[in-house]
Amino acid sequence: MDEEVMIELQSCILGLNITDLKDFGIKMKWLTVETTEGKGKFELIKTIRTAFEDEASECEENGFLDLVEKIKSLLYEQTLDKSNEDTEKAEKNKQELVELETQYEQLSKAQEELKQKMQLLELAQKKSNLSNKPTQKPEAKASTSGETELSGLNASIFRREFKIQGQIGEPGQKDKLTYQSLISQIETGLKKGYTEPEVVTAVIRSIQAGLQLRSYLEGLSGLTLPKLRKMLRFHFQEKSATELYQLLANISQSPKEDPQSFLIRALTTRQKIVFASQESDSKIKYDEELVQGLFLHAVETGLADETIRAKIRPLLKNPSVADEDLIEAMSLAMSAESERANKFTQGKPVRPSTKISKVEAGASGEPKENNPSNQRENHILATLKAIQSELNTVQSEVASLQKKVDDKDCPSNHPAE
């Protein structure tokens, strides 16, 4: 038994797939249909290999050669069948490719014909449009209205529900919405295409639970947006445009308020005036230019620091100055003034206070003026007294001279009768 031949045959057997392996084992009568069910390739190879080795060991030399030839012929048949299948598949693929190319050419020709027909139809349509313009207009309007309805439907499907960011609470609560912020969100929602009922519903939902205002509005039928805005204005206790205008005219910097905070307060008041003036129920409408002029004048006259006022005065004279430019100029002026004050505070020397005390007797009964530490103070005191005495003498001399001058002028001013 040639081991090389057996190794070669076993390698050929290992190269078979599981289907060919089953057919080969059944033809060699090493396997049956029942024994191949549920087995994998590894188990089948193991069974075939064992049967092959057993049969080869029992055969004589001539019988072994016959066995080898039989195995080779079966393997060759399977290889040939496989190659035939591959050839058939290649021919079939080739035929399919030819058919696809033929279909592609036919479709290309049909496409060209359709293009020509479309061009002819477009020309005919243009001619009919020129001859029948009045009859085509209603159709165009109908199509436009249909597109509008379709776009509105798409917008209603994909649009998010309108919500108010924040919560409405009691007036003056720091963590709740202000009136200006709420109205700004309402205006934004209307600009985005939300309807008034949607906005009204969102505003009511944003009111803090437990407030009487929410209970009242939820039970109110037929509530419109203008009516809701009026109620919200009363709820937030907002001042009218006239009251705010008067407040801006009399605004001034508080003692504990820095210039930057004063400017922001004035800006806020100005915005409130414009905002309140735009309300539908406002009796007096204030023009923005008028409010801007009052604001600039109020800031200039309301600042407490003359140095800062002088630095930002050029901007306050410009009616079209931007708010951010004013804030920036105020910040720079405050920074420069603070730096200047710090420099003068750090460089100012500390002056010792001069004290003049009376001459008192010490504990030992000796006067303090004899102490060396008090000699300088005593000398200064004596000098001051001497200067005071000389000053009194000069004043008396001036008075006597003035009297002599008056006496000389008296006869000339009042002659004898």
In a domain, 391, yes or no: no
390 or 207: which leads in pLDDT: 207
* Structure confidence at residue 280 (pLDDT): 56
Residues 253 and 339 in one domain: yes
In a domain, 21, yes or no: yes
Q: Which two tokens stand for residue 105?
A: 């050419």
In a domain, 43, yes or no: yes
* Structure confidence at residue 402 (pLDDT): 74
Mean pLDDT confidence for 227-239: 85
* Structure confidence at residue 260 (pLDDT): 92
Residues 23 and 64 in one domain: yes
Mean pLDDT confidence for 36-46: 78
Give per-residue burial for 310-320: e unless 16+ CB within 10 Å, then b. ebbeebbeeee
Domain that residue 325 falls in? 241-343
Residues 250 and 339 in one domain: yes
Q: Would you say residue 37 has pLDDT above 80? A: no
Residues 59 and 18 in one domain: yes
* Structure confidence at residue 139 (pLDDT): 47
12 or 255: which leads in pLDDT: 255
Residue for token pair 């040639």: 2
Mean pLDDT of the chain: 77
Mean pLDDT confidence for 19-45: 78
Residues 250 and 318 in one domain: yes
Residues 188 and 282 in one domain: no
Using CA atoms, how far residue 392 sits from 236, 383, 386, in Å, is 74, 14, 10
Half-sphere exposure of residue 408: CA atoms within 13 angstroms, side-chain side: 6
Residues 296 and 260 in one domain: yes
Mean pLDDT confidence for 380-397: 74
Residues 270 and 190 in one domain: no
Mean pLDDT confidence for 262-287: 83
Contact predicate 329/311, CB 8 Å: yes
DSSP 286: P
Contact predicate 239/247, CB 8 Å: yes
Contact predicate 319/296, CB 8 Å: yes
Q: Identify any residues that bridge with 168 across adjacent strands, giving them in sequence order.
A: 207
Contact predicate 101/109, CB 8 Å: no
Pick from 66-70, 170-174, 372-376, 394-398: least confident: 372-376
Q: For residue range 354-371, list pLDDT tens digits in order.
A: 444 444 444 444 454 455
Q: Which of 115, 132, 192 is nearest to 161 (CA)?
A: 192
The span from the CA of 104 to the CA of 99, in Å, is 9
In a domain, 157, yes or no: no
Q: Decide which of 212, 236, 260 is a domain's last residue.
A: 236
Report the domain count for the chain.
3
* Structure confidence at residue 234 (pLDDT): 85
Residues 285 and 204 in one domain: no
Residues 249 and 338 in one domain: yes
By the 10 Å C-beta count (0-12 exposed, 13-18 middle, 19+ buried), 269 is classed as buried
Q: Identify any residues that bridge with 226 across adjacent strands, giving them in sequence order.
A: none
115's enclosing H/E stretch is: helix 61-131
* Structure confidence at residue 357 (pLDDT): 47
Most confident range (mean pLDDT) of 148-157, 213-222, 250-259, 273-282 is 250-259
Mean pLDDT confidence for 233-262: 89
CB neighbours of residue 392 within 10 Å: 10
In a domain, 213, yes or no: yes
In a domain, 404, yes or no: no
- Residue 167's Cα: distance from chain center in Å? 20
Please tell me the pTM assigned to this model.
0.43
Q: Would you say residue 372 has pLDDT above 60? A: no
* Structure confidence at residue 137 (pLDDT): 45
* Strand intervals (E) in 80-214: none
Q: How confident is the model at residue 81 (pLDDT cuts 50, 70, 90)?
A: low
Q: Decide which of 236, 261, 280 is a domain's last residue.
A: 236
Q: Would you say residue 298 has pLDDT above 90? A: yes
Q: Would you say residue 302 has pLDDT above 90? A: yes
Q: Identify any residues that bridge with 367 across adjacent strands, giving them in sequence order.
A: 361
DSSP 16: S
Q: Would you say residue 301 has pLDDT above 60? A: yes
Residues 288 and 315 in one domain: yes
In sequence order, the 6+-apart residues with CB closer than 8 A to the CB of 260 are 327, 330, 331, 334
In a domain, 126, yes or no: no
* Structure confidence at residue 43 (pLDDT): 80
Q: For residue range 210-223, list pLDDT tens digits in order.
A: 888 888 898 888 88
* Structure confidence at residue 22 (pLDDT): 77
Q: How confident is the model at residue 121 (pLDDT cuts 50, 70, 90)?
A: confident
Q: Decide which of 75, 93, 111 is a domain's last residue.
A: 93
* 96: amino acid identity, one letter: E
Give the three-state DSSP class for 283.
coil
Q: Would you say residue 89 has pLDDT above 80? A: no
* Structure confidence at residue 33 (pLDDT): 76
- State the Cα angle at 82 between 80 and 87, rounded to 5°: 95
In a domain, 9, yes or no: yes
